């Protein structure tokens, strides 16, 4: 299991992915499906986040807005498969993790966020090699699918 601190420390690498090569081997439809899966999975944990002691209305509203950003990416035309799309998803995940760092969130929240980061990492082989997330893309998809149900 990856801690929030480990997630937060690994996510800044997502902001520099514009320097990495494109995500070869992934189709637009797969990218869109994966971003949609991340959006659904993260949206599904919102009630758990809302119940956390220390999450005030402004923080929760900010998290909801970030989830909406991910949903918008999932619903947009993802012809720019590669760095730009995944940079935006990664930056959104980084915002969520930074907003809940230091709070006692349920294990399932950490698991779903870890799965989302693992799936983003699968599109970025260079980052995936340097950031141990502990999940394969298929395992991450399974967690996100379970969360989104």
Cα 122–Cα 125–Cα 128 angle in degrees, nearest 5: 65
pLDDT in tens, 101-129: 999 999 999 999 999 988 888 876 544 44
Q: Exposed, middle or buried, 137 (CB in 10 Å: 0-12/13-18/19+)?
A: middle
- Tokens 């999450």 map to which residue? 55
Q: Is a pLDDT exceeding 70 seen at residue 13?
A: no
Rounded to whole angstroms, the Cα distance separating 114 from 20 reads 22
- Cβ atoms of residues 23 and 31 within 8 Å: yes
What does the pLDDT read at residue 50? 95
pLDDT score of 147 more than 80? yes
Do residues 66 and 88 touch, judged by C-beta distance below 8 A?
Answer: no
Range in 54-58, 85-89, 127-131 the model is least confident about:
127-131
For the ranges 54-58, 133-137, 145-149, which has the lowest average pLDDT? 133-137
Question: What percent of the chain lies above the pLDDT cut of 70?
Answer: 70
pLDDT at 135: 85
Kindly report the CA angle at 43 between 98 and 113, in degrees rounded to 5? 45
Which ranges in 11-53 belong to alpha helices (H)?
A: 28-44, 46-50
Residue 83: per-residue pLDDT: 62
Q: Which pLDDT value is given to residue 26?
A: 60
Q: Look at residue 18 and tell me whether its pLDDT is greater than 60.
A: no
Residue 15 is given by DSSP the state G
Q: What mean pLDDT is reported for the chain?
A: 77
pLDDT band at 42 (very low <50, low <70, confident <90, very high): very high
Task: Pick the closest to residue 34 from 99, 78, 66 (CA basis).
Answer: 78
């Amino acid at each position: 299991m990856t801690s929030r601190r480990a997630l937060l420390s690994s996510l800044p690498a997502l902001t520099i992915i514009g320097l990495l090569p494109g995500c070869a081997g992934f189709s637009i439809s797969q990218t869109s499906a994966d971003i949609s899966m991340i959006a659904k999975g993260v949206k599904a944990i919102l009630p758990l986040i809302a119940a956390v002691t220390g999450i005030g209305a402004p923080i929760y509203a900010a998290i909801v807005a970030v989830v909406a950003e991910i949903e918008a990416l999932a619903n947009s035309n993802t012809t720019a498969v590669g760095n730009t799309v995944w940079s935006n998803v990664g930056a959104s995940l980084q915002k969520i993790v930074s907003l809940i760092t230091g709070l006692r969130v349920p294990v399932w929240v950490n698991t779903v966020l870890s799965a989302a980061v693992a799936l983003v990492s699968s599109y970025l082989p260079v980052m995936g090699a340097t950031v141990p997330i502990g999940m394969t893309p298929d395992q991450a998809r399974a967690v996100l699918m379970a969360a989104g149900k």
